């Protein structure tokens, strides 16, 4: 078993300076054409963040305005990405909302199942089947670190996707620095499994009660109706839970164990971040042990009036989960619990080298009709790499092959391709590319260059002769002029130049 890391924090007694400013970030209402105000918060249309997909209106009645429209994506294209401007180094809560509304027609009564991706990390499968059958929308929430000036959010079609995927709403909200800060966000992200207010039965608690607009869903009928902790100060909790979650609890009035089957879903085997929140100001002592699936979790927790949180960073869970609170011998009262959060810990999928990404972006811009899935990270997640791109393994992810043979491309080949210095193969044959062949001498690993069956013009750069690794240069059936550089005629290099009517052999 891995090293388990937990911390216990007693909060301070000072009154929190509770700010009512809404969380910073973007609220994006997908598929709408206009900016809308909902509960005094601004929702933007999504057209400034994505270039693919089609806006659609839902014909079924929905209560939430954000569910009335969605953006739908053609199933055949494996990846579609939003590009969201972010503050580098900030921690974002990303929430995605899905309500199918039958937009794919009567042949597809159930919603498609597909993947959602943040940067190079496969976040989760989106399966809204059960919620949709109940007439509910579904939401997913995760916490990710912004490592660049943009973050990409992508929808991916997979083998189980049987009709066009879609998204209804997208929220990128900055979280306070201290939230979940024992997680190493440079290597991990967390995806929400459950966040509940125990013994509470009202509508979900969120902004303005939760200043970051996290959603605390009701869980379990309370046996005790009296709210026992009106004055909990939450500012000392690093995770800053809303004080409202301390107004209710689940607990035993007797000196007996409290067993909680929570979270309700059966969990896939993985590591989880767990935070449990307790507070009590009843006279007497409330001290108990906590165990998770029978495994000792925390000993002699004292649920004091000012509140206490116990959390684990990477706790292994699998299948159904039971939390047991057992009163200690010294306790005069039974155990209780106010709130809890469980997140799946995700290993980050990495990122393609920034130099390659910038160069490939320029190459994309010089093509008039680049492949439709060329958005988001070019290499990762591996199963979602761009059409025609293959990449190196390992931590430093480089682009090693650019192969767009017979893709019906027009436009030109940007000289920025020369910045992708790990390239070993460039295959662009049988397209309608025109313009000059750029200077590729910085591509010292290049082995094959296939530019045949295009409309490249100008001279063959003699700098090609300086690339010692080069084995194949195919340039036939273009419109090249001038002389073939003499340094390309050497043993070990196969060069083809036929069908260039104005090209002459090298000077003798």
Q: Which residues bind ligand NAG (CB under 6 A)?
A: 39-40, 55-57, 113, 127, 129-130, 134-136, 160, 178, 181-182, 223, 230-231, 238, 250, 252, 258, 289, 296, 299, 326, 328, 401, 403, 405-406, 408, 415-416, 418-419, 425, 427, 430, 455, 457, 479, 481, 502
Q: Please name the helix (run of DSSP H) or strand (run of DSSP E) that holds residue 31, with its range, or none.
A: none
Q: How far is the CB of 479 from ligand NAG (least distance, A)?
A: 4
Residue of 160, 296, 139 whose CA lies nearest to 206: 139
Return the number of the residue (89 or 135) whose C-beta is nearest ligand NAG.
135
Residue of 410, 445, 412 whose CA lies nearest to 430: 410
Determine contact, residues 454/434, Cβ cutoff 8 Å.
yes
Tokens at residue 199, please? 């013994």
Per-residue DSSP letters for 482-493?
EE--GGG--TT-
Return the number of the residue (84 or 497) whose C-beta is nearest ligand NAG.
497
Determine contact, residues 439/418, Cβ cutoff 8 Å.
yes
**String of b and e for 273-296 (b: at least 16 CB within 10 Å)?**
bbbbbbbbbbeeebbbbbbbeeee
CB count, 10 Å around CB of 219? 22
Q: How far is the CB of 292 from ligand NAG (least distance, A)?
A: 13
Q: How far is the CB of 75 from ligand NAG (least distance, A)?
A: 14
Return the number of the residue (84 or 163) whose C-beta is nearest ligand NAG.
163
Return the number of the residue (222 or 462) whose C-beta is nearest ligand NAG.
222
Tokens at residue 141, please? 């929430």
Q: How far is CA 502 from the centre of its chain?
A: 52
Q: How far is CA 41 from the centre of its chain?
A: 24
Tokens at residue 323, please? 């939390």
Return the number of the residue (84 or 251) whose C-beta is nearest ligand NAG.
251
Q: How far is the CB of 262 from ligand NAG (least distance, A)?
A: 11
Beta partners for residue 345, in sequence order: 190
Q: How far is the CB of 171 from ligand NAG (least distance, A)?
A: 17
Q: How far is the CB of 456 from ligand NAG (least distance, A)?
A: 9
Determine contact, residues 309/281, Cβ cutoff 8 Å.
no
Return the number of the residue (84 or 258) whose C-beta is nearest ligand NAG.
258
Return the number of the residue (140 or 416) whose C-beta is nearest ligand NAG.
416
Q: How far is the CB of 405 from ligand NAG (least distance, A)?
A: 4
How far is CA 140 from each of CA 95, 175, 187, rounded to the nearest angstrom?
Answer: 5, 16, 20
Q: How far is the CB of 221 from ligand NAG (least distance, A)?
A: 8
Burial (Cβ within 10 Å: 0-12, 13-18, ≥19) of residue 304: middle
Q: How far is the CB of 430 from ligand NAG (least distance, A)?
A: 4
Return the number of the residue (49 or 456) whose C-beta is nearest ligand NAG.
456
Return the number of the residue (84 or 473) whose C-beta is nearest ligand NAG.
473
**ω into residue 255 within 30 of 0, thus cis?**
no
Return the number of the residue (48 or 266) whose C-beta is nearest ligand NAG.
266
Q: How far is the CB of 149 from ligand NAG (least distance, A)?
A: 17
d(CA 488, CA 468): 10
CB count, 10 Å around CB of 319? 9
Residue of 197, 66, 53 whose CA lies nearest to 137: 66
């Amino acid at each position: 078993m891995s090293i388990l890391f937990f911390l216990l924090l007693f909060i301070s007694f000072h009154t929190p300076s509770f700010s009512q400013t809404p969380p910073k970030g973007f609220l994006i209402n997908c598929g709408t054409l206009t900016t809308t105000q909902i509960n005094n918060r601004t929702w933007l249309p999504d057209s400034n963040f994505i270039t693919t997909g089609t806006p659609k209106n839902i014909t079924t009645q929905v209560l939430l305005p954000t569910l009335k429209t969605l953006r739908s994506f053609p199933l055949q294209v494996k990846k579609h990405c939003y590009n969201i401007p972010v503050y580098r180094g900030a921690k974002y809560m990303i929430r995605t909302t899905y309500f199918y509304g039958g937009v794919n027609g009567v042949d597809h009564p159930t919603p498609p199942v597909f993947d959602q991706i943040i940067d190079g990390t496969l976040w989760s499968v989106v399966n809204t089947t059960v919620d949709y059958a109940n007439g509910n929308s579904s939401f997913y929430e995760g916490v990710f670190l912004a490592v660049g000036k943009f973050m990409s959010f992508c929808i991916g079609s997979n083998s189980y996707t049987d009709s066009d995927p879609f998204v209804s709403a997208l929220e990128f909200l900055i979280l306070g620095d201290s939230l979940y800060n024992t997680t190493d966000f440079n290597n991990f992200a967390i995806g929400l499994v459950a966040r509940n207010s125990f013994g509470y039965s009202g509508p979900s608690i969120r902004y303005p009660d939760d200043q970051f607009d996290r959603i605390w869903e009701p869980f379990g009928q309370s046996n005790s109706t009296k709210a026992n902790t009106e004055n909990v100060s939450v500012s000392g909790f690093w995770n800053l839970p809303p004080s409202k979650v301390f107004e209710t609890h689940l607990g035993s009035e007797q000196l007996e164990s409290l067993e909680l089957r929570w979270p309700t879903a059966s969990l896939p085997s993985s590591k989880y971040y767990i935070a449990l929140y307790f507070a009590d100001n009843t006279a007497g002592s409330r001290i108990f042990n906590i165990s998770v699936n029978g495994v000792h979790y925390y000993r002699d927790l004292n649920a004091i009036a000012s509140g206490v949180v116990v959390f684990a960073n990477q706790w292994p869970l699998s299948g159904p989960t039971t939390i047991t609170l057992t009163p200690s011998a010294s306790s005069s009262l039974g155990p209780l619990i106010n709130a809890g959060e469980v997140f799946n810990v995700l290993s980050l999928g990495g990122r393609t080298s920034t130099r390659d990404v910038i160069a490939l972006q320029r190459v994309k811009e010089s093509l008039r009709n680049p492949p439709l899935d060329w958005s988001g990270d070019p290499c990762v997640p591996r199963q979602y790499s761009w059409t025609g791109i293959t990449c190196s393994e390992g931590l430093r992810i480089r682009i090693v092959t650019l192969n767009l043979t017979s893709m019906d491309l027009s436009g030109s080949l940007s000289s920025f391709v020369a910045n992708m210095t790990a390239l070993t193969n460039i295959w662009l044959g049988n397209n309608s590319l025109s313009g000059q062949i750029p200077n590729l001498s910085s591509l010292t690993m290049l082995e094959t260059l296939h530019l045949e069956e295009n409309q490249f013009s100008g001279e063959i750069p003699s700098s090609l002769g300086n690339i010692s690794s080069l084995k194949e240069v195919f340039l036939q059936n273009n419109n090249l002029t001038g002389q073939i550089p003499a340094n390309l005629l050497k043993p070990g290099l196969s060069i083809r130049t036929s069908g260039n009517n104005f090209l002459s052999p090298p000077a003798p």
